[in-house]
Chain A
Amino acid sequence: MTTDNLTCIIVGASHAGVNAAFTLRNQGWQGKIILIDKDQHLPYHKPPLSKKALTAENQEIAALLKPEASYQQANIELILGAEVSNLNRESCTLDVTENGSLKTLQYDKLVLATGARPFIPPIPGLAGNRAVFAMRTLDDVKAIRACIDNKDVKRAVIIGGGYIGLETASSLLGLGLSVTLIEREERLLARVTAPVMSDFFKTLHQQKGVEVLTGLEVVSVNSEQDNQLVLCDDGTSIETDMIIVGVGIKVNAELAEQAGLKIDNGISVDEYNQSSDNNIYAIGDCANFKHSMFTQKVRLESVQNAVDQAKIVAKNLCGETIVNTAVPWFWSDQYDYKLQMVGLATGFDEIVLRRESAKQNTSLECLSAWYFKDGALLSVDAVNNSKAYALGTKAIQTGTKINRAVLADENEPLNHKTLFLA
């Protein structure tokens, strides 16, 4: 396939978009590659934002996905700080506003890596409140740090007990703030993990000094000068200096929707990440895709998913025909605890929990939760236990059966020989 005179436009320059652009070039795409994002900063790693970037001395130095010169070297045209306002599928054009001027760009292939934005719930007192922050972009982190550093902020309320909320709690505590975390569900991480892991993380954060309130809904926020009063549905009120909202995201699917592409929990795509228009693909957080491992379509919000889908699309655009077989994985660092997850636990009917003695030279607890369905391993959550994570990954990738008697016996060491059934 010759791609000499073809233009590929990629909308969204985070993990998915940037990897798509560079993989396209590495795979031999000869034509133009244009990469557009509304974020004005050179594309950067997102996971550190709630972790290292928040606690770092200097927020100006972001961890770049690629140095600036790499884009020129790979002949990737990077358009930053630009809004894409209209997609016309008949003329294969995009309307792009950059520095106040509107231009129309023509594509042959279009990759939508538009991601998602924080969902700010319609709680009175949140919208327009300068003490309220999201945690999604480098600018969010800069704004949070500016508020803490300049206003001598001592107290923070975090709304939402998912990964973003928990990682932010860990970082803010590290910056010396007193932190209250409010979760509407009865347990933390309710959407993504089993009750046993929720309990573990609740205890961890409480031990570190976070006030964790679950089963509590914020009903309003009243500001008086620099003081915020957070009111909850049981009548509790909490005074604070700043509020960080991490209750989930809204997919940036409007551009696709307005163009008439099929939308279903994000931009609906097939196993090649191709949308209902043959010339348009969607990857990353915004794509609801057909994964070879799962019967239902899935939309995954993770770096792994963004990178793997980017590579799949780039290779397919360069003439290969491959589908996504990557087992989903994810990680979260909170305090000095490392959580690693692999697979998807959806539909599990059994959990085996394994607690092991702390590793040499650390006193950190070491545990893993193994999720099964009809005896087959679906997923593993591992805390300070990369061995369990690696073995779980291998077993899921190869469909190997697990010796659950060994797994459940904490005195039995875990390795390929003990754990895997032939």
Chain B
Amino acid sequence: MVKITFITKDNKSTTLEADSGSVMALAVDNNILGIGGDCGGVCSCATCHVHVQEDQADKIGKASEIEEDMLELDDNTNEFSRLSCQIEISEELDGAVFYVAQE
């Protein structure tokens, strides 16, 4: 089990435990506001946009080319942006903090 924290636009922090699946699915299953996951996790809707905590960017990894293109849909995109459906939960992610980009 790893601990993953979401911080939503209203500054609410929620820490959840998980061992597999995508970060998007974890958020949707726990009603984290601002994470839609409308396409079910196939990088088609850009409704699961998060900002990675700056000092964790290397650990989480970079967006793929398709993901980067999809992120252009959001005005709120920066170098720390990821689509959380494209981040798989693993031991590496223990302690990760994601800032939800949408309200």
Contact = CB atoms under 8 A, between A and B. Distances in A.
Interface of A: 15, 22, 26, 45, 47-48, 63, 66-67, 70, 73-74, 303-304, 307, 329, 331, 333, 338, 340, 359-360, 386-387, 389-391, 393-394
A73 B31 contact: yes
Nearest to B25: A63
A242 B36 CA distance: 37
Contacts of A22: 31
Nearest to A22: B31
A331 B42 contact: yes
B65 A48 contact: no
Contacts of A360: 65
Interface string B27-42: 0110101001011111
Nearest to B66: A386
A63 B25 CA distance: 10
A322 to B, nearest CB: 14
Interface of B: 28-29, 31, 33, 36, 38-45, 65-66, 69-73
Contact of B40 (A63, A74, A304, A340): A63
Nearest to B36: A307
Nearest to A387: B69
Contacts of B72: 387, 390-391, 394
A390 B70 contact: yes
Contacts of B44: 331, 338, 340
Given A66-B28, A391-B72, A394-B72, A26 B66 contact: no
11 contacts: A15-B38, A47-B40, A47-B42, A73-B31, A304-B45, A329-B45, A338-B66, A386-B66, A387-B72, A390-B69, A391-B72
Given A66-B28, A360-B65, A304 B38 contact: yes
A359 B65 contact: yes
A67 B37 CA distance: 14
A66 B39 contact: no
Contacts of B69: 386-387, 389-390
B33 A26 contact: yes
6 closest Cβ contacts across the A-B interface? A386-B69, A331-B44, A390-B72, A387-B69, A45-B40, A386-B66
A393 B65 contact: no
A contact patch SS = helix
A181 B45 CA distance: 29
Contacts of A333: 42
Contacts of B40: 45, 47-48, 63
A70 B31 contact: yes
A373 B68 CA distance: 29
A393 B69 CA distance: 11
Nearest to A63: B40
Given A389-B69, A390-B73, 13 more contacts: A15-B38, A63-B41, A70-B29, A70-B31, A303-B38, A303-B39, A331-B45, A333-B42, A386-B69, A387-B69, A387-B72, A389-B70, A393-B73
A70 B29 CA distance: 7
A18 B6 CA distance: 23
A387 B73 CA distance: 9
Contacts of B38: 15, 303-304, 307
A409 to B, nearest CB: 20
Contact of A47 (B28, B39, B70, B71): B39
A298 to B, nearest CB: 19
A73 B28 CA distance: 13
A26 B69 CA distance: 30
B8 to A, nearest CB: 11
A143 B78 CA distance: 46
Contacts of A391: 72
Contacts of B43: 386
